[in-house]
Structure 1
Amino acid sequence: MSTSEEYVGQSGRNYRIERVLQEETFPPRWVGLAITGDQKYILKYIHPVNFEDLEDVNNKLRGRANHVRLSQDTIPKKSMFVFDYLADHLLHLVQKDLPLETTKTILKKALLGIAELHDQDIVHTDIKADNFFIDWNAQENGIHVERVQLGDLEAAAYMPPGSAMVGKQAGNPMWRSPEAHAKGPVTKTSDIFSFALVCIYAVHKRVIFAVGEEELDEGVDPLSIVIERQISYFADEEGITAFLKYLGDDNPWVQVFEIIRDGFDKEHPRKPFSIWKGVDEDFKSLICSMTNFDPAKRITAREALAHKWFEGVE
């Protein structure tokens, strides 16, 4: 697809491709910046297998979600969705060393997007910092946040109460929940665990489960280090016992988690997030309530919005 091409959406709008933002062959991926009059849009190729599912998710949310980036148009013949253009995303914007109050505002709006999804029994399954899109402008007193929207709903799924997605590992390992790593039941609570990691990144500029090459001995799977950190930072005995029961006896990952759990001792102790130095106590409380290893004990998105750490945040 070249920048000279134009496409016509079902709305009748013409989209002229100004710039290709992403292009990959396998798996096929294409994202472009398009212009219609003086408006900018994002055109995104969606694999035909997922096209109808994503359309259904968008339709379930339409009129019910102000903090989710929904499609504005489609180009079915090209298997493309058209989205509003937002200038930045959280993964990048955080590097501007934002004031804490601005960061809180962004995170609250981001969490509202998750809450709007969950209110309609839709689970995102791929919560990460670069899936929160942001419009902002620079003012004399700092950055003013115009809009924050949760995007990239391709992996999202409708899960009515009592249901779960099993066997799927969506997204980057750095942001996944423990049950997603274990191909166990993924539900709304899995989104909440991942969002806690986004919060830590936004506030402390750390992707705590990123594994550098220098940390890898020969033959070591980076995922084993990620799981080790998850257990070290967020699992207590009660929580991991409930988690293993949640996975079920037939899940082959149970043994992996047990071996890693049993590897901690006096020489190699756990490092619970709850006792990290230099972390605000209210923030610790919020994160720990979202990352309980027992998925049943994690707070909901609406409960997180009511947490003391967000008190007074617009």
Structure 2
Amino acid sequence: MLFLDRNMDSLNITIVFATHDGEVVTLVCFALMNRLPRLQALAPGSMETSGRLQWEVSVATDKVMRLPSLTVDPTMVFAMILLTDIVDQVFVAKNWIFCVSGHPRVENERDVLKRFQPRSPYLRPLVDEIQDPAKPTTIVLKYLESDLLEASIQQPLNRKEIKHVLKCILQALSVMHEDGYVHTDVKLNNIFVNFEKKRDTMRFSDIQLGDLGGSYPQDSKWAKSGTPIGAPIWSSPEVLMETPWNTATDIWSFGAVVIGLLYGGDFNIFRPKDVRYGDEKYNLEVVKSQFRYFGPFPPKVREIFDDETVTSILYLMEVIPPEAMTPFRFVTERELIKEDKQFVLKIMQMDWRDRPTAKELLQDEWFRAE
């Protein structure tokens, strides 16, 4: 079971497991800390035992071990493995439990998944919702072994795998976009995978887009007001410039995913080199990179941007003159084959109105070519 308590600076997580002995608890805790490397353990506290089992933990024992609290950054997405089986005294992970006290993301993810998961096998599904206790809202999501960022770092995907993965993600986005919903956080580490046991033809047995806690309709107050969403290096120019956004912002993020998979590893073309995440200039440096590779903005953006945004665009044109730009279209075939480059250029349009839809991309000839 996972319990989270919010305070001003952090979230305290208390993990509760049923187990045969303390040694197994230690192994489980170690595995979780490896999966979430930013977790920092507090000073070890005394173990407490209780005579009852936690929800859905099927174990032949009457012990429940309470582990010391852990402190994490409150901006992180919180995940926990629900352990339901023991095989030779080794826990087998079955699902993820999400629970953040007083935060709307969990309830929103539940509602969005209930709406869309029956229509797409490529969205990470809601498995259950814990009713007792009713508050805070706690949901159980399907467990998948890894995500695409981790998988790509371990071994870059081949072309067949890349195209298969991208079609799955486009199908999920197409379903959401049909109803005007924006995922808002499409990125490699939000695409979850299971691995094939026999990898003769395909590396992944399951591919599912997850983390829908920030998904909202494009006519919501958040979209209309240009509320910042997602991770900056995966976000569209309109999001970073805090202008109204819609489903087309997901298409830009999808394009960044395409680039990342084609180059492999932890590559992100928009990651600033000299500014760290959290610096007040970070978003500006990301927009500069977008402008440098895929700019300039076409003059017609005056139709959709206010005067303040237009002024910002003029500033970009001043600080990044044509001779300082490094257009993606000049990437050589030694780096990226022509068909791949053209597919990327079709997607990465600075004016969101020029981007293809997810449905249109699913029909693109790039997917049919070998």
- How many angstroms apart in 2 are the aligned matches of 1:257 and 1:160? 25
Which residue of structure 2 lines up, in the alignment, with residue 187 of structure 1? 246
Out of 257-266 and 115-124, give the one that drifted further.
257-266
In structure 2, do the counterparts of structure 1 residues 77 and 259 end up closer, same or farther at CA, with 3 Å as the change threshold? same
Contact 1:110 1:149 in 2 (8 A): yes
- How many angstroms apart in 2 are the aligned matches of 1:49 and 1:290? 34
Asked which structure has the greater RCO (Cα within 8 Å, sep 6+), the reply is: 1
Which residue of structure 1 lines up, in the alignment, with residue 187 of structure 2? 128
Q: Kindly provide the amino acid, as one letter, of the partner of residue 367 in structure 2.
A: F
CA shift for structure 1 position 211: 1.6
Contact 1:179 1:247 in 2 (8 A): no
Which residue of structure 2 lines up, in the alignment, with residue 86 of structure 1? 144
Q: Kindly provide the amino acid, as one letter, of the partner of residue 263 in structure 1.
A: V
Q: Kindly provide the amino acid, as one letter, of the partner of residue 181 in structure 1.
A: L
Normalising by structure 2, we get a TM-score of: 0.72
2:101 maps to 1:42:
no
Q: Kindly provide the amino acid, as one letter, of the partner of residue 202 in structure 1.
A: L
In structure 2, do the counterparts of structure 1 residues 261 and 244 end up closer, same or farther at CA, with 3 Å as the change threshold? farther
Contact 1:243 1:295 in 2 (8 A): no
Which residue of structure 1 lines up, in the alignment, with residue 177 of structure 2? 118
Contact 1:282 1:308 in 2 (8 A): no
In structure 2, do the counterparts of structure 1 residues 114 and 63 end up closer, same or farther at CA, with 3 Å as the change threshold? same
- Percent pairwise identity: 23
RMSD: 3.0
Q: Which runs of 5+ in 1 are unaligned?
A: none
Which residue of structure 2 lines up, in the alignment, with residue 137 of structure 1? 196
Contact 2:99 2:139 in 1 (8 A): yes
Contact 1:33 1:42 in 2 (8 A): yes
Which residue of structure 2 lines up, in the alignment, with residue 167 of structure 1? 226
Which residue of structure 2 lines up, in the alignment, with residue 265 of structure 1? 321
Out of 178-187 and 222-231, give the one that drifted further.
222-231
Deviating beyond 4 angstroms after TM superposition, the runs of 4 or more aligned structure 1 residues are 13-20
Q: Kindly provide the amino acid, as one letter, of the partner of residue 309 in structure 1.
A: W
- How many angstroms apart in 2 are the aligned matches of 1:107 and 1:258? 35
- How many angstroms apart in 1 are the aligned matches of 2:109 and 2:58? 21
Out of 117-126 and 42-51, give the one that drifted further.
42-51
In structure 2, do the counterparts of structure 1 residues 197 and 29 end up closer, same or farther at CA, with 3 Å as the change threshold? closer
- The SS at the match of 1:254 is helix
Which residue of structure 2 lines up, in the alignment, with residue 24 of structure 1? 72
- The SS at the match of 1:203 is helix
- The SS at the match of 1:67 is coil
Which residue of structure 2 lines up, in the alignment, with residue 4 of structure 1? 17
CA shift for structure 1 position 81: 1.4
- How many angstroms apart in 1 are the aligned matches of 2:230 and 2:188? 11
Which residue of structure 2 lines up, in the alignment, with residue 243 of structure 1? 301
Normalising by structure 1, we get a TM-score of: 0.84
Which residue of structure 1 lines up, in the alignment, with residue 129 of structure 2? 74
- How many angstroms apart in 2 are the aligned matches of 1:295 and 1:100? 27
Which residue of structure 1 lines up, in the alignment, with residue 26 of structure 2? none
Which residue of structure 2 lines up, in the alignment, with residue 282 of structure 1? 339
Q: Kindly provide the amino acid, as one letter, of the partner of residue 2 in structure 1.
A: I
- How many angstroms apart in 2 are the aligned matches of 1:131 and 1:273? 25
Out of 179-188 and 225-234, give the one that drifted further.
225-234
Contact 2:185 2:214 in 1 (8 A): yes
- How many angstroms apart in 1 are the aligned matches of 2:123 and 2:175? 8
Q: Deviations over 1:209-265 (max 9, x none)?
A: 11234x68xx98232221111112112452xx233432222xx34322221122233
CA shift for structure 1 position 267: 4.5
- How many angstroms apart in 2 are the aligned matches of 1:151 and 1:220? 28
- How many angstroms apart in 2 are the aligned matches of 1:61 and 1:174? 27
Larger Rg: 2
Which residue of structure 2 lines up, in the alignment, with residue 310 of structure 1? 367
Q: Which of 104, 108, 111 pairs up with 2:163? A: 104
- The SS at the match of 1:149 is strand
Q: Kindly provide the amino acid, as one letter, of the partner of residue 346 in structure 2.
A: S
- How many angstroms apart in 1 are the aligned matches of 2:347 and 2:207? 21
- How many angstroms apart in 1 are the aligned matches of 2:97 and 2:171? 25
- How many angstroms apart in 1 are the aligned matches of 2:250 and 2:292? 20
Count of residues paired in the alignment: 299
Which residue of structure 1 lines up, in the alignment, with residue 292 of structure 2? 232
Q: Which of 264, 283, 297 pairs up with 2:354? A: 297
